[in-house]
Amino acid sequence: MEPDHRRPARRRLLTGAAALAASAALAPLTSATADATARRRTPDGSGYPPVHWNPASPANFTAANRPTQYPIEMVVVHVTQETYEDTLRLFRDPAHKAAAHYVVRSSDGCLAQCVKERNVAWHAGNWDYNTRSIGIEHEGWIDDPTWFTDALYEQSARLTAAICDRYRIPKDREHIIGHVEVPGTDHTDPGEYWDWARYLQLVTEASWRKAR
């Protein structure tokens, strides 16, 4: 049975978002209606789960040519502190000055891609980490583990496994990190209820299944 997710009081995704501007982190983009109309696609590279293309405003990322211009060496795990729909809407807002590459919906693990991997998304609040990482937002609140559903963990792990395999990123806690671990950030996500042991196991299992 799905947990009863009554809409919580709205909280701001980024603390001091204006101060983070050109190197922000976390954040948001479209709605259920956009889900129905967004173009379904699979990112380049084998093993990727299907995603819906929901582009962020160009004002919320830096166009680049990764991994040629910058190496891709990490995956950064975020929690939105917003609903999936509000997260996508915020990523489309040019005044927001933040976006992640992907957003995972809690109820069913639906994946939205908002920034192409070759571009530098403003998700980590640290320019160096932004240039070298892929940011994945997960719908929910850090103090409510009911948002971290089986579907969310499983689909996110499939995505992270595909990213790691594509860029030869080790599947360990030095290379798959939480936003809280980014130097200089004031964020605490994914928080104490994020099950890292389970997540890394799912990432490893997803790569095993692909290799079989």
Catalytic residue among 85, 117, 137, 154: 137
Q: Cα–Cα distance between 73 and 125 in angstroms, integer? A: 17
Helix (H) / strand (E) element for 62: namely strand 61-62
82 is catalytic: no
Other residues' Cβ atoms within 10 Å of the Cβ of residue 46? 9
Helix (H) / strand (E) element for 166: namely helix 150-167
The gap between the terminal CA atoms of the chain, to the nearest Å, is 32
Q: Cα–Cα distance between 202 and 155 in angstroms, integer? A: 9
Phi-psi region of 137 (alpha: psi -120 to 50; beta: other; left: phi over 0): beta
Distances (CA, A) of 69 to 64, 104, 119, 191, 210: 7, 27, 10, 32, 28
| β pairing state of 111-113 and 39-41 | unpaired
Residue 31 neighbours by CB under 8 Å, 6+ apart: 85, 88, 89
Which of the residues are catalytic?
Answer: 137
